[in-house]
Amino acid sequence: MMSVVGTVLIFLAVLSFLIAIHEGGHLISAKLTGVWVHEYAIGFGPSLVSKKIRETTYSLKPIPFGGYVRMAGEDVGEEADQDEEVPEERKFYSQSPLKKMFISVSGPAMNIIAAVLIMILVVGVVGSPRISIYGFMENSPSQGQLKLGDQLIKLEGKKLTSSNQIDALLPEDNPRKVKVTVLRNGGKLEFSIKPKYYEDSGKYMLGVKLGTAMTNEVAGIQEDTVLSRTGLEPGDRITAINGNPVNGGASIVSALGKLESGEQVVFTVDRDGRSVNLTVSPEGPEELLKGFSLKTISDPVGPGTAIKQGLRQIKNIIILTYQGIKLIISGKIPAGEAVTGPVGIANLLGQSARRGMYSLFLMVSLISLNLGLINLVPFPALDGSRIGYATYELIRGKPIPPEKEGLINSIGFLILIGLMIFITYRDIIKFFN
């Protein structure tokens, strides 16, 4: 129960933070351009807390799935009573097209800037986690050369700081052999591997299952789990599972993945120089895989490298997002599998938090980036549509009639709400399954 409550609290905190940043962008740009702002609100519904400073009321509301900046003259078709006292030149729709663009783009821009800064901070504080091989896909072109637990450090001579880089560096067509450099038992090895095309993924791949490189030292134990009740403690080094030696994250995950449901498991750990056996009888191996985290293997980086790697991570995520959209449009990936709603996001944040602060902040950066990019899409009711309206006004020399713009936005809003309800329903079904 505590894990569910914790997941919900983390989700609400992250969502509120990202909304505050997004709406803060609109607020600041509106103030800078002289537009009168009636209210800056986080959430919807009646105000829980509100304070008026000069012309603007700052509010916190109970329904956390959004927020808004209500500007004078923003309501299409009619003006609110409050607008009657506002000078015409300070109303939103009295502004030039460029000012409207600036106000509209500022929200998404703030989310993108926040994503970049969070990513740079994470890399600077945590360092650059190494990438390890946790398994092989069917008919993998890498099998026989690369091994379980190998740490990928270079691809085509370029240093790897994230698994996201790999797809970006592999050819999209006309496959050729690529140079892969790994770290194995403290020494560097170089291999030449020809990527294989996987129909399910719709792209060329090395055929390896990747994850963060980890030692065999326990970093944390999730409360009220099978392993916490068995006596496993942070700082323990897992040296064997059912008598089979293990020396890192990849070998531990592999050993646990081979267990049969209901099979008794004996963990041999090194605790302050003493060998201790811990016996556990889980219902299935997934109980053990979710119950603890291991210490990450990272390389320390300086400020310059942190900025460079942080920006590279963001670039790789944008490339992968673009590639994902192409796969969805081409029908190679079902849209239902690629899109998630509030429940799915909450679940992802909870999983990331259990893996550690690095994973959590990485996920926050990813969500913030996607929030910014999605809002730039020129779909009615999103910021991108307002940018489109302003562009139309700039080209044609006159704005879209307010009643038409209002109708378009209303239809778009209803479509978005319907889509959100459907996605949330599907995520709930997934969660309980």
Task: Please report the beta strands in 246-291, taking only residues with DSSP state E, as ranges in sequence order.
Answer: 265-271, 274-280
91 pLDDT higher than 70: yes
**Beta strand pairing call for 187-193 and 178-184:** antiparallel
pLDDT digits (tens, 9 = 90+) for 105-116: 999 999 999 999
The pLDDT value recorded for residue 1 is: 39
319: tokens are 């490339």
* For the chain, percent of residues with pLDDT exceeding 70: 88
Neighbours of 287 (CB within 10 A): 18
92 pLDDT higher than 90: no
Whole-angstrom distance, CA of residue 105 vs CA of residue 384: 8
372 pLDDT higher than 50: yes
354 pLDDT higher than 70: no
Neighbours of 366 (CB within 10 A): 20
Average pLDDT over residues 309-321: 83
Who's near 78: CB < 8 A, 6+ residues apart?
none
The pLDDT value recorded for residue 337 is: 61
The pLDDT value recorded for residue 430 is: 63
Who's near 216: CB < 8 A, 6+ residues apart?
237, 238, 239, 246, 247, 248, 249, 251, 252, 294
Average pLDDT over residues 165-177: 79
Task: Tell me the DSSP string of 66-117.
Answer: EEEEEETT-SSSS--GGGGGS-GGGSGGGS-HHHHHHHHHHHHHHHHHHHHH
Q: Which domains does the chain have, with CATH numbers?
A: 2-124+369-379 (no CATH), 128-213 (2.30.42.10), 215-286 (2.30.42.10)
At residue 80 the predicted structure's pLDDT band, cuts being 50, 70 and 90, is low
Could you tell me which of 295, 208, 209, 211 has the C-alpha nearest to residue 247? 295
At residue 77 the predicted structure's pLDDT band, cuts being 50, 70 and 90, is very low
Task: Note the helical H segments in 153-284.
Answer: 164-169, 226-230, 249-257
Whole-angstrom distance, CA of residue 306 vs CA of residue 232: 34
146 pLDDT higher than 90: yes
Whole-angstrom distance, CA of residue 390 vs CA of residue 98: 7
Given a contact cutoff of 8 angstroms between Cβ atoms, the answer to whether 132 and 152 are in contact is: yes
CA distances from 131 to 28, 123, 276, 296, 350 (A): 40, 14, 30, 10, 22
CA distances from 219 to 65, 293, 347 (A): 34, 5, 21
- What sign does the dihedral 256-259-262-268 (CA atoms) show? negative
The pLDDT value recorded for residue 128 is: 81
Average pLDDT over residues 306-331: 79
For residue 377, the 8-state DSSP code is S
By three-state DSSP, how is residue 61 classified? Answer: coil
Residues 232-249: b if buried by 16+ CB within 10 A, e if exposed: beeebbbebbeeeebebb
The pLDDT value recorded for residue 263 is: 82
The pLDDT value recorded for residue 251 is: 92
20 pLDDT higher than 90: yes
Chain mean pLDDT for the chain: 84
351 pLDDT higher than 60: yes
Calculate ∠ Cα 206-207-211, nearest 5°.
95
Whole-angstrom distance, CA of residue 16 vs CA of residue 43: 8
358: tokens are 């690095």
79 pLDDT higher than 60: no
By three-state DSSP, how is residue 31 classified? Answer: helix
pLDDT digits (tens, 9 = 90+) for 183-225: 998 899 999 999 998 888 788 889 999 988 999 998 877 777 7
